[in-house]
Amino acid sequence: MKILVICKVVFICLFFISCNGQTSSKTGSNRIVGGGCDGCELMYIGMPKEIHSVDTSAGWNEKGQRLIVTGTVFQLDGKTPAKDVIIYYWQTDNDGYYSPKAGMDERTKRHGHIRGWVKTDANGKYTIKTIRPAPYPNDVLPAHIHLSIKEPDIENEYYTDEINFDEDKLLIPHFKKYPQENRGGSGVVRVLLNDNLQIAEHNIILGLNIPNYPKKINNEKISGLDIGEEQL
Ligand SMILES: [Fe+2]
């Protein structure tokens, strides 16, 4: 019994540490793309040399509602598919804990054992096979999946909006308090049920609402005058 209580305390600490680190450092370096992110750098620990566009998480074969998250990653213009972008994800288990597994690197235990990587294919597509994360026990945060992005030609990783689920009752009260940042676009997904499998589409626009993002949209004028511009 005593061991069980200690374990629960450890798990609770782990998930609070994990989420508190998922905030941008608005006062931090103005050179870091994304403004900084405590925890995103853990994506490099245990990262396989070869990453595929489809990944099956450790949660897939555990208790819980199976979920497939799939989508396209676009460049900042919102149209051009972005290939070779690494997406690192981490999430709670079916009980709402970032539950570590024996043998995990100590540094990554705060992300729990349901963590993994995908790399977008030539069409910018990716697919993550996992389970629905549960909200933290006795808490008000909606269920979510964290994402950290590493582009091939951007020096550092940055986080995008967490994946949230549109039917989550905790979502609206949370957004009233903490409006979405829309980093990379909205993280809220609509879940479709296909037999016993849930499917959610989540597209990401690289650099959208990401501080210090070095790339710009090409706004080259094609024709016409701006309003108020005089004709010569
Ligand atoms: Fe979290």
Q: Which structure tokens are listed for 16? A: 């609070």
pTM across the whole model: 0.85
Report pLDDT for 4: 40
Report pLDDT for 31: 83
Q: How far is the CA of 73 from the centre of ligand 1 (A)?
A: 22
Residue numbers of the chain with a pLDDT score lower than 50? 1-17, 20-28
Q: How far is the CA of 200 from the centre of ligand 1 (A)?
A: 19
Report pLDDT for 217: 83
Report pLDDT for 21: 41
Q: How far is the CA of 163 from the centre of ligand 1 (A)?
A: 10
CATH superfamily of 2-23+35-205: Aromatic compound dioxygenase (2.60.130.10)
Q: How far is the CA of 229 from the centre of ligand 1 (A)?
A: 49
Provide the b/e sequence for 156-191 (b: ≥16 CB within 10 Å). Answer: ebbbbbbbbbeebebbeebeeeeebbebbbbbbbeb
Q: How far is the CA of 16 from the centre of ligand 1 (A)?
A: 7
Report pLDDT for 224: 64
Q: Which structure tokens are listed for 111? A: 């992300």
Question: Whole-angstrom Cα distance, residue 39 to residue 90?
Answer: 10
Report pLDDT for 18: 53
Question: Whole-angstrom Cα distance, residue 170 to residue 197?
Answer: 22
Q: Which amino acid is at 111?
A: H
Are the C-beta atoms of 59 and 131 separated by less than 8 Å? yes
- Specify the pairing of strand 191-194 against strand 158-159: unpaired
